[in-house]
Structure 1
Amino acid sequence: MSTHGWHFLQGADVTQKAFDEELGRRLAEHRKSLALSQDFLGTMLRRDQTYVSKIEKGKRTLSVYELARWAKALNLTASDVTELVSQGESDVE
């Protein structure tokens, strides 16, 4: 299995917190590019705005199931999600 785009995860210094923060930041950027509010996205996910905020700030970890729900709500494919995570991977330390 290729780890292209995910090699930053192999470092001992990468924490779940750093990963969550980076993923949340990128999901927030994508949400904003679609001109969606946190409140509207929360409604789409059947969650409240504070849930969306916590994910986007990296204060909560998304399960694979939750990430799939976010992807569907944001009209992202699995490869789009991979791209979100792998963009600027050197930013995550």
Structure 2
Amino acid sequence: MARVTALQHFGTVIRERREELRLTQEELAGQTGFDRTYISLIERGRRNLSLLNICKFAVALRTTPSALLKGVPYGADSD
């Protein structure tokens, strides 16, 4: 089984929360100020957000930064 990286896990959390709120990537992009294609890259674990941008996503997704980071693997093997 392939190892899930921290970025992949975080992206999955973002996507699942967006879907819970019934938001499209386009709608989330409008709320965060990012392009829809960038949202897609984040959800696929291809981009690394800064702390300030994690906070923007938390506001847009009506949650907390810590909730978005819960369960994200960390350490030497997290890529």
**Shorter-chain TM-score: what band?**
0.7 to 0.9
Shift of 1:76: 0.6
Indicate yes or no: 2:48 matched with 1:61.
Answer: yes
Indicate yes or no: 2:23 matched with 1:23.
Answer: no
2:63 — aligned with what? 76
1:32 — aligned with what? 19
Of 18, 30, 48, the match for 1:43? 30
Max radius of gyration: which structure?
Answer: 1
Q: Is the 8 A contact 2:58 2:68 kept in 1?
A: yes
Q: Which amino acid aligns with 1:66?
A: N
Give the superposed CA RMSD.
Answer: 2.4
Q: Which amino acid aligns with 1:69?
A: K
TM-score by length of structure 1 reads 0.68
Identical aligned residues as a percent: 31
Shift of 1:26: 1.1
SS at 1:75 equivalent = coil
Q: Unpaired runs of 5+ in structure 1?
A: 1-13
Q: Unpaired runs of 5+ in structure 2?
A: none
Superposed CA offset, 1:35-92 (max 9, x none): 000000001111211010000000000111110000010011244234xx328x6xxx
